[in-house]
Structure 1
Amino acid sequence: MDQDLEFLFSKITDPNESEAYVFADKLGLKANEEAKDKLLELVKGDNWEISYLACRALSKTIWQDEALDAIFDVIFDRKNKNLQGAFVQILEEYDLSLRFVDIFRVYLFGNFKASTLAKDYLDQVEFEITPRTIRKAEKHWNHYLHNPEDEGSMAIKKAEIEPMLLEMKELFS
């Protein structure tokens, strides 16, 4: 790896670096295939702050699909339940138009902050919807109905989700 990239990696992994966001952005703009692989490793690492910076760097690259796969893996990993909100927040840097089902799952099963942010994405992003997308969303909705993590929010989600799914189905009938 070239010296510029190594320098930028050292800056985003330095806990005392106050300008780490700036260096993450620069790293994303200069990243090559080798840097992408290292960033993906950092996304899945144990230090959530460095993971977040790696997500930010990846948002500036051409490898957004791979990055989103890694980010959603981190979000859905049970050990990160308390950190989901930060990782859902970084999604604003990405094109989410093909990720309706992933965002929908975060809305259903995420912690309060993650779920709230996911609801905002559901309301604001223009998603590519297909009949298959609707079937997948219904599968997750049925799973949620039979295994709610929070009984208190079920009525609220039911009032929001059922009309949404119905409206999407009507698009294809």
Structure 2
Amino acid sequence: MAVEITTALKELTGELNDKSFNASNYLGSIGSEEVVNAMIKLLDDPNPETRFMAARTLGLVENNSSALTPLFEAFNKKENKEILGDLLMALEGFDVSDNYVDLFKLYLFGSFKVSKIAEDLLDHKEFNITPRVLKKAQKHWVHYSNNVKQDEAFELQKLEVEERLNDLRGFIGNSENEN
């Protein structure tokens, strides 16, 4: 098995091809600690395609929680700015229930692609929402709104964000009433 893992790992480095995706699928299905640790190391590879494949593979691993922090760290590295949207797609395979604020920031401050992927995750994943999460999200919204051009696009986004924040307020109010 170790030989097969080593061979599959080699397929993830360098130029991507069909074998790379097959190797990623294979490693994701194995999902061992060895695979997760190897993918975390590949998140720092000089080749952006290799970093993408590492993130993709991590998203396929069932027990990938130990890779969530390194993946979020990779999002913040300047060498990943051009592939951030591709890396972010890996979060579909993660439990991000405690990362609402991190995704909300990417939704606000990311490129168009990053913002749309983050928005999709915010809309379709389950999150642990607390008053602290709401407060942090509101803080980021205020920071964003004070530092962006106030044009028609902003006004549309403002409506969307205020609706999102109101939904959070309603959720917190309802959960407090249930307790």
TM-score (norm 1): 0.84
Residue type at the aligned position of 2:74: V
Q: Aligned equivalents of 2:37 and 2:58: distance in 1? A: 10
Q: Structure 1 residues 142 and 79, CA, compared in 2 at 3 Å: closer, same or farther?
A: farther
Moved more, 59-68 or 17-26: 59-68
Q: Aligned equivalents of 1:17 and 1:171: distance in 2? A: 45
Q: Structure 1 residues 90 and 58, CA, compared in 2 at 3 Å: closer, same or farther?
A: closer
For structure 1, list consecutive stretches of 5 or more residues without a partner in the other structure. none
Q: Structure 1 residues 16 and 131, CA, compared in 2 at 3 Å: closer, same or farther?
A: closer
Does 2:119 align with 1:126? no
Q: What is residue 143 of structure 2 aligned with on the other side?
A: 143
> Which residues of 2 match residues 31-46 of structure 1 at below 5 A?
31-46=31-46
For structure 2, list consecutive stretches of 5 or more residues without a partner in the other structure. 174-179
Root-mean-square deviation (CA, aligned residues, Å) is 2.3
CA shift at 1:109, angstroms? 0.9
Residue type at the aligned position of 1:23: A
Check conservation: 1:5, 1:31, Cα contact below 8 A: no
Q: What is residue 171 of structure 1 aligned with on the other side?
A: 171
Q: What is residue 107 of structure 2 aligned with on the other side?
A: 107
Residues 115-134 of structure 1, C-alpha deviation per residue, up to 9 Å, x if partnerless? 11212222222322122211
CA shift at 1:64, angstroms? 2.4
Q: Aligned equivalents of 1:13 and 1:79: distance in 2? A: 17
Counterpart secondary structure, 2:87: helix
Does 2:164 align with 1:154? no
Check conservation: 2:59, 2:92, Cα contact below 8 A: no
Q: Aligned equivalents of 1:69 and 1:113: distance in 2? A: 22
Q: Aligned equivalents of 1:136 and 1:63: distance in 2? A: 28
Does 2:57 align with 1:57? yes
Check conservation: 1:8, 1:27, Cα contact below 8 A: yes
Q: What is residue 30 of structure 1 aligned with on the other side?
A: 30
Counterpart secondary structure, 1:59: helix
TM-score (norm 2): 0.82
Q: Structure 1 residues 68 and 156, CA, compared in 2 at 3 Å: closer, same or farther?
A: farther
Q: Aligned equivalents of 1:124 and 1:130: distance in 2? A: 18
Check conservation: 1:12, 1:20, Cα contact below 8 A: yes
Q: What is residue 15 of structure 1 aligned with on the other side?
A: 15
CA shift at 1:14, angstroms? 4.3
Residue type at the aligned position of 1:134: L
Check conservation: 1:25, 1:57, Cα contact below 8 A: yes
Residue type at the aligned position of 1:101: V
Q: What is residue 71 of structure 2 aligned with on the other side?
A: 71
Q: Percent identity?
A: 31
Does 2:117 align with 1:117? yes
Q: Aligned equivalents of 1:115 and 1:81: distance in 2? A: 13
Q: Aligned equivalents of 1:58 and 1:21: distance in 2? A: 13
Counterpart secondary structure, 2:60: coil
Residue type at the aligned position of 1:119: E
